[in-house]
Structure 1
């Protein structure tokens, strides 16, 4: 019972949590296998942001229960946000699950699996189930171990967990707990170690990443703790690029906007969640900014970096959203000219204020509004890609593409580029001339004379 497969649902935070669990399990002697068919243990790291994400995980766990009937020693574990949200109640729907571990207990997974294995070895007759969803002080500091693939050049670093924002639609404060930041010195040391291991691009992660350290560190000379951290990571030798996600619009004060003009490793790419372009809906959502303030942030960032790339999150069909409210969202969406967006149809999450609101929007209206924004996004992406044709872009070479035919990397604006290259260029910043584009991907050729392709 030492072969483990981890399936991850949801956001980059979940991906990072799964990686840390994998590293801890490897250190304990478990094998992380690349496919579930060869696993003795299946861990589902789950998401609760939308009902569909939970239903996918529940469906997968139900399917795995059939495997457990054929092999009673097979272990099923549910980790993360859904585990935190539903706890032991999951066992009512999924009685074959052996392990339920919440978001502040990832570091306990190796111990829990050891205990389950010991119970099996002892010939336990009754089902042995473990449910661990308690809060734990300092748990944010346990997500620090990495499993790096051969010549991996990008990595996520968790700097903050939890959220105190209480948006009306969001279950994250319940599943992730209160806002908690890691010590700055530890984060910088982790980034330095990753750079020493060949990582060239780091993405800093947090539920509200721009709130980092606001209770733990002083503003110095008008510089927030988050920007202080960016400064220190920017100074790490060997590191070539910095990104971060997810921020909150209220975190974009003058110091962060200015950082894009003075920190050379901070990529000119911003994920800036809007959620709605209607002041009335923003107020119902408990989002503490207006459409005008949001547009000002976008304009300020473009003044500092005219070539800035933007992505966003949008919710259509929030309770009470009228045609006029949506038109304001559509207009602001078009004006901001996003390069990428995650457009979601509002999903009722029990336990959130929005779930009890009147005037729930019909599903067919949500779908119609969703499609309007997706069509706009496709037009925006095609238009932006057209401006890149014939230009030479700096690309960080990450490795072979999925087909193994060419190599791939990303521009500073987070555009994926495919091109012919030699594996010795992995981890290098190279100039690539763009000669073709689809909506989602760019294609080009190395622009260095004499470089082996």
Structure 2
């Protein structure tokens, strides 16, 4: 009988794409992939270390696996496994911990899946993580996450990602296009480009620091791949989002009008402490440029609250900056101290109670911003890609500019594109619509 393996992914879209690549390695070795809720011979947990919560959740996931099958072999990979391998190896039930480069060769480190008395660690020095492994994940039959870049050369004072993933490096343009073509052949309608710092694409192809291609080269080449209906840029630094890219997306065949642009703070004082590579003026200019050439564009923003030294005045500066900005929603992160980062030793620590209060205020602002954006789209004719899950009798989908819609469950709509007119916002904040064309639009 085939050995069974199950996977659990914590963290970002990039982790999901890499889990898929690791899973395909197991399938190639004759394993059968099953859901994490099922009994398996081996459980692989892809970890994250961006927030304290992701660290804590790891132990919960290990316990869940042990409850399903106490004799199962448990392996930990990913960012937390690179940063604190011994800490993970000490968790009861963990048999194997693999670092940044080893995770892609996981099947080389397992034998008969006999449990170990203590977790074995195989973890490289992060300086050795200078090669590139391409990957993509097909999440829900409707969209795929395509990795184009890994690592980061930035030195943001709160961030552990350079310590966990190494230097910035990119896939070859040829391989990205091949992966995109493979995805389209599987009937997937949307590709989301992912990486640690995708605007840095072209730097460090396989450790070569020459810029072979730019992010704009990548975008233009992907726009010509046959069979892809939608391309979405997951997240891009404001200093790397050039006007040429914005203008190209505005007239693109397949890139959708949606940008997610990390801000982190609306205070220039804090941006300097964070060692971000822009000030608020540049951020404002990027938003203005997008609104000028793509008026209906959805603009998402990452923001951190409670960074060391954030006074009430700094926070209000951020709040008012975001309130006045024509954006669509926020991803709010409550600052948590990460070991081996400069911010962890900075003065001006913000009490957790105040961090949580500020986080709540910005989450409330996000609800207001999203509502205003959805209201601005009512009456518009847009194209919806319907997803595959029946949620309490409803099917959901997203317009090209990321408005989330709902309709009574209809399995025939799954993974289809339809032209609709948005009509009203429901009590749960999602949007209802009328079909403009019953036939699928391709």
Q: TM-score normalised to the size of structure 2?
A: 0.91
Counterpart secondary structure, 2:44: strand
Structure 2: gaps (5+ residues): none
Aligned mates of 1:343, 1:413 — CA distance in 2: 20
1:84 matches 2:73 = no
**Would you tell me which structure has more helix in proportion to its own residues?**
1
Tell me how far 1:104 sits from its aligned partner.
Answer: 2.4
* Structure 1 gap segments, 5+ residues each: none
1:133 aligns with 2:133: no
For the 8 Å contact 1:419–1:445, the answer to whether it is kept is no
CA contact (8 A) 1:338 1:377 kept: no
Pick aligned residue for 2:145 from 149, 156, 166: 156
Structure 2: distance between partners of 1:139 and 1:97: 27
**Count of aligned residue pairs for this structure pair:** 433
Q: Per the alignment, do residues 390 and 54 of structure 1 end up closer, same or farther by CA in structure 2, a change over 3 Å counting?
A: same
Match of 2:251 among 262, 266, 270: 262
Residue matched to 2:425? 437
Partners of 1:218 and 1:225 within 8 A in 2: no
| 1:195 partner SS | helix
Q: Within 5 Å, which residues of 2 pair with 1:98-247?
A: 98-113=95-110, 115-117=111-113, 120=114, 127=117, 129-134=119-124, 135=126, 139-141=131-133, 143-144=134-135, 152-216=141-205, 225-247=214-236
Where do 1:384-403 residues align within 5 Å?
Answer: 384-403=373-392
- CA distance in 1: counterparts of 2:249 and 2:24, whole angstroms: 33
The structural deviation recorded for 1:165 is 0.6
Q: Please say if residues 8 and 36 of structure 2, whose CA atoms lie closer than 8 Å, have aligned partners that are also in contact.
A: no
TM-score normalised over the length of structure 1:
0.89
Sort the Cα spacing of 1:402 and 1:67 in 2 relative to 1 into closer, same or farther, 3 A: closer
Corresponding position of 1:299? 288
2:395 & 2:379 partners in 1: Cα distance?
19
Contact 1:318-1:360 within 8 A present in 2 as well: yes
Deviations 1:148-167 (A, max 9, x none): 76xx2310111111011110
Question: Could you tell me which residue of structure 1 aligns to residue 403 of structure 2?
Answer: 415
TM superposition shift of 1:184: 0.8
Shift of residue 350 of structure 1? 0.9
Greater Cα shift, 305-314 or 245-254 = 245-254
- 2:308 is the counterpart of 1:319: yes
- Report what 1:288 is aligned to: 277
Cα offset for 1:145? 5.9
- 2:24 alignment counterpart: 23
RMSD: 2.5
C-alpha separation in 1, matches of 2:204 and 2:41: 43
Q: Distance in 2 between matches of 1:366 and 1:427?
A: 40
Greater shift after overlay, 161-170 or 378-387?
378-387
Measure the CA separation in 2 of the matches of 1:67 and 1:38.
Answer: 6
Distance in 1 (CA, whole Å) between partners of 2:6 and 2:27 is: 12
Q: Tell me the equivalent position of 2:93.
A: 96
Q: Aligned residue for 2:352?
A: 363
C-alpha contact (below 8 Å) 1:421/1:446 kept by paired residues: no
